[in-house]
Structure 1
């Protein structure tokens, strides 16, 4: 068993300042060395800037802050953190369950390729957000001040193309969209790089799964409940699934089964984080171990989140944080035990 830690960042200011302050916090961390070893030295900076100018110009300012704070060129910062034209990443797993009252999900992958950061960010031009960082700028999952929640779910690399990573797309959506409908509209326009599902819920009780690839974007809507895992379910896209999706199908069945129990937000969160749960995994060596559990209650503006085998649970009234009340926690500590 090895120790496992996630740092908690709380940053307020303009987008450039957020990039600068983030850089100060991540300087000399192991994850930067990991990015250096796997990310391309250069990307098509002109095309990346064109896309970001269209969908999220404020993130260009944040990239400038990251570049200055780390003492690197803007072009290198864009290659390392923008989420544009990133190399293929091996399969990752994620299970999400949505109801009209809450959103809850597990993120499953390897700690070797994990930022280990949970950020609460309040910028001046966009919505305040809270979520787990991916490639520093992007997010695995998160919620914004309007009560919109989003998470990513890897499907396959079929038709892989230069484009925006799903974690960068999530950041764009959280920063600027208020509802599921607005998020769906943006996700239909963003040029996606690979096959991913996006699970979406908002405070009005709307929920959807966006099934996206580099060629097409389709949407499945839920009424009172919805499950989202790691395969496309729309018949028009099932040919793009990986050959082996038995595990994803099994998780989907489990999620639909527990919906009948009508568990509260608190109880569903604890079901997801429980190491004995059918949706908690420990195959970290094969890039399929549970790293964090994230959830949000729309009515109470309440985030419940934790990491693998941690005795700590972050219980955050996000409305209060947006109002200026910082949380006291600076980190989450857990452990990784290979199954």
Structure 2
């Protein structure tokens, strides 16, 4: 990433690797210094041991264990690496996102991911860790911010706007589990009900048949499954008013609701997601919209969208590439520059 005065250049990299190998290892080595500093920011003793983390995975996500073991080995097999990659009880962190579930003739999931460009990993990974094709924007090296699998199940996350924290997983690894082993919204909901999380999140889900749900997961109370089609960064009750005000969560929710009521089609809703107040541009001061994702379950495809630029991939056809996105602080402008090169190992 390069910073030039008020402009911030951020690289997005699309990688196709069925199981963890040299390509993923290269990504790990690039980002591990920053991730490791974040992971132990409160001291190494504040993080669970490797054996505790492994025990939690065995209890709650046993089918993911072979993939976890493979990815830890690819990372070098170290104790700290294993603890981090389990995502069991990581440090507290927050972001701001907007999510809309579209039903009707072409079910879809549209979301804005709002975060600091200095903290985004920027990896778009196509994999077959467990035989099923999964395409996802990655966080914490192999967790999922949003993604889709070849069965047409799409999922994304938004911070739930609560200060509660507890014993549980970072939600990106939970969404990895969902996309690896669920094919429908109903199957995903069952998983989300039974896996503890360490923070509050609103999870948007839709499958190929148009079945959908918004699931509020929390560390201190059972998951709530709602038919709401819009979620931003607060759950019912608006517990953290300061955060909601700082991130315009209520205003964004109202704007998305208005879009769905007035239009409901992908083109019109996507256009609204590219404009304030849903599209945020305070990249330097707090966080801004780093990408808009459009997931289409019918053909298991996804588009990453910036103003004036669309990057399309699918589970059936995923092409490696690198693109640089320039964000201008305080402006709605963002530009994309394809590298014209494939990604090598």
Same fold (TM over 0.5): yes
Mapped contact 2:15–2:320 kept (Cα < 8 A): no
CA contact (8 A) 1:134 1:140 kept: yes
Is the contact between residue 156 and residue 194 of structure 1 (CA under 8 Å) also seen in structure 2?
no
The offset of 1:136, in angstroms, is: 0.8
Unaligned runs of 5+ in 2: 1-6, 331-345
Distance 1:137 1:27, change over 3 A: closer
Please say if 1:264 is aligned against 2:265.
yes
CA distance in 1, matches of 2:241, 2:249: 10
1:193 pairs with 2:190 = no
Look up the SS of the partner of 1:112 in the other structure: coil
Aligned to 2:227: 221
Look up the match of 1:291.
Answer: 290
| Residues 161, 214 of structure 1: 8 Å contact kept | yes
Matched, 1:133 2:138: yes
Which residue in 1 is equivalent to 2:281? 282
Gaps of 5+ in 1: 13-17, 322-326
**2:303 paired residue number:** 304
Equivalent residue number for residue 86 of structure 2: 82
Contact 1:19 1:64 in 2 (8 A): no
Partner of 2:311: 314
Residues of 2 paired with 1:200 and 1:113: CA distance? Answer: 25
Residue of 75, 83, 95 corresponding to 1:70: 75
Q: Tell whether the 8 Å contact from 2:149 to 2:300 is kept in structure 1 after alignment.
A: no
C-alpha contact 1:108 1:287 (8 A) present in aligned 2: no
Q: Deviations over 1:150-175 (max 9, x none)?
A: 11111235331121011111111111
Q: 1:127 to 1:85 in 2, by over 3 A?
A: same
Moved more, 327-336 or 140-149: 327-336
Tell me the SS of whatever aligns to 2:220: coil
Answer yes or no: is the 8 Å Cα contact 2:230–2:256 preserved in 1: yes
User: Is 1:116 aligned with 2:122?
Assistant: yes
Please give the alpha-carbon distance, in whole angstroms, between the structure 2 residues aligned to 1:268 and 1:315. 17
TM-score, scaled to structure 1: 0.85
* Aligned alpha-carbon RMSD (Å): 2.2
Q: What displacement does 1:270 show? A: 4.1
Structure 2 contact 294–303 (Cα < 8 Å) conserved: yes
Work out which of the residue numbers 84, 92, 95 in structure 1 matches 2:95.
Answer: 92
TM-score by length of 2: 0.83
Residues 1:317 and 1:159: Cα distance change in structure 2 (over 3 Å): closer
Give the secondary structure class of the aligned counterpart of 1:105: strand
